Amino acid sequence: MPRTARDVVFVDGVRTPFGKAGPNGLYAQTRADDLVVSVIRELLRRNPSLPPERIGEVAVAATTQTGDQGLTIGRSTAVLAGLPRSVPGYAIDRMCAGAMTAVTNVSASIAFGALDLAIAGGVEHMGRHPMGEGVDPNPRFISEKLVDTSALVMGATAENLHDRFPAITRQRADAYAAASQHKVAAAYRAGKIQADLVPVAVRDATGAWGLADVDEPPRPDTTVEVLAGLKTPFRPHGRVTAGNSAGLNDGATGCIVAASDVARSLGLPARMRLVDFSFAGVEPEVMGVGPIPATEALLARNNLTMDDISLIEINEAFAVQVLAFLDHFKIADDDPRVNPWGGAIALGHPLASSGVRLMIQLARQFAGHPGARYGLTTMCVGMGMGGTVLWEKIND
């Protein structure tokens, strides 16, 4: 039978507060899969008109799929969250773009008609599972010079970007990083971020219980002067520091996506429509440029230019990577369309979970911009990739 692609809409999204990775972080005593369970349960609580048995898939991303991030985490967390046993699930890995890929995968299935509705998200507990844990890179990468050794160290790839784009100085990167911190602080003061956070019960090293209800990483008092004094761990006299990069973090995200007609029939909100998406490969040594070709392909395919884009949520793995994107598209460093509430340099970047955080913030921002039409969520991806999703605001 002939098929017609269906419109796919972003219904709702939530995330845990992001924590600092390590023995003293928010989630040092909390399992990764339990973070995902908290997200799934909160999505159902906020959307009571959604019958759990209608969920056609649970796709959960994790970059390090071992321990409490293993066991086909999409399916295992569906069971742990109390979803009907008839609801399937799976795990996915595209490093930093894991949750983004989870959303695009299930959305493609919905558009095709194989599913009506799905939950997609990601988790990373970098305190328990540091990036690269248990990985055994094939020696051919180096022996056959398929990639430079720097390709396997994300901070080193950021230093390579500074080499490629000398106009992006450390001072400029530090200024961008400080601005991100200040924008997050302003968004918190205005109550913009808290609405999408799932409070999580946590224990500290002594066994005492507490409640995680705000992000742990932000440093609202950050100044350019403070950042200028930080060390450059990836290269002597380099330009990449802990202050102009995202940190090592723990956290989980999740969202509901559905066919637009299904959302309407169930009385679910439709916050934005997925228009198109694109993933692109680049040289692994400069993986930070990945969002550029992914975005170029997406705009060209939809006969759009950057002037048509009202809002841009770009993941701030490194300030230099964001600035390279902005320079390419001739966007000012302080363009109000870009990360209006700050980004990962302040909030944190729990790898595979971050793509849905971008979507959550974009959906909220659409609601506050009556004249907006199109928005982008975009990010660089380890091993030389980039991903971009084009969204359209839905006007009631």
Given the residues 96, 125, 129, 255, the one annotated as active site: 96
Count of all residues that appear for the chain in the document: 396
CA 319 to chain CA mean position, Å: 15
Reading the block at residue 291, the tokens are 């969002």
Distance between CA atoms of 36 and 40, rounded to whole angstroms? Answer: 6
Active site residue 255: no
Reading the block at residue 113, the tokens are 């008609």
Active site residue 380: yes
Given the residues 125, 129, 255, 380, the one annotated as active site: 380
Three-state helix/strand/coil letters over the chain:
CCCCCCCEEEEEEEECCCEECCCCCCCCCCCHHHHHHHHHHHHHHHCCCCCHHHCCCEEEECCCCCHHHCCCHHHHHHHHCCCCCCCCEEEECECECHHHHHHHHHHHHHHHCCCCEEEEEEEEECCCCCCCCCCCCCCHHHHCCCCCHHHHCHHHHHHHHHHHCCCCCHHHHHHHHHHHHHHHHHHHHCCCCHHHECCEEEECCCCCEEEECCCCCCCCCCCHHHHHCCCCCCCCCCCCCCCCECCCEEEEEEEEEEEHHHHHHHCCCCCEEEEEEEEEECCHHHHHHCHHHHHHHHHHHCCCCHHHEEEEEECCCEHHHHHHHHHHCCCCCCCCCECCCCCHHHHCCCHHHHHHHHHHHHHHHHHCCCCCCEEEEEEEECCCEEEEEEEEECCC
Distance between CA atoms of 387 and 374, rounded to whole angstroms? Answer: 16
Given the residues 125, 129, 162, 349, the one annotated as active site: 349
Please give the backbone phi and psi of residue 200, each rounded to the nearest 5 degrees, phi first. Answer: -125, 130
Hey, which residues are catalytic here?
Answer: 96, 349, 380
